Amino acid sequence: MRASNAVLLATAAALTLSGCALRMMPHGRFDALSTHGVPALGFQIDGAPRTPDVEVVLLSQTFLWIPTRTDPPTLEEAIEEALRRGRGDLLVDVEVDRLFFAFPLLYGQEGWRVRGDVVRTRWQTDEEPKPDATSE
């Protein structure tokens, strides 16, 4: 009886652990990406400040079916984070990858990797707006 339980337990463990997956799916290369509205005449990138090689990896993890986020990360969030880090409004020469890794029933992660140059095409102030003292 104990031998059959051990065999059953070993088979269940082997089936559970055999499903490990690691995928990095390239979604493509793009000349330009942005989440901001495009001006009618297009972006003026000649002579604009450029931050090279900005890379963002945005992941959601799951431990024993408990997620670290309520919803999986989106490509839009990854692009917004890259634009924020590069302090610009346009990504050029962009590589986008979808990431996925799973160790069934125990651990999993999914997300996006966005890498490219960030260009500041519009005038932006370096300072945050200060609250108006008279409005309080």
For residues 78 and 63, give the distance between their C-alpha atoms in angstroms, rounded to a whole number: 22
What pLDDT, in 10s, does the model give residues 112-126? Answer: 999 999 999 876 544
| Domain spans of the chain, in order of start | 20-122
In this prediction, residue 45 carries a pLDDT of 80
What pLDDT, in 10s, does the model give residues 45-90? Answer: 888 899 999 999 999 998 888 888 888 899 999 999 999 999 998 9
Residue 136 buriedness (CB in 10 A; 0-12 / 13-18 / 19+) = exposed
pTM for this structure? Answer: 0.70
Q: Which residue has the higher pLDDT, 93 or 128?
A: 93
- The 10 Å CB-count burial string (b at 16+, else e) for 91-116 is bbebebbebebbeeeeebbbbbbbbb
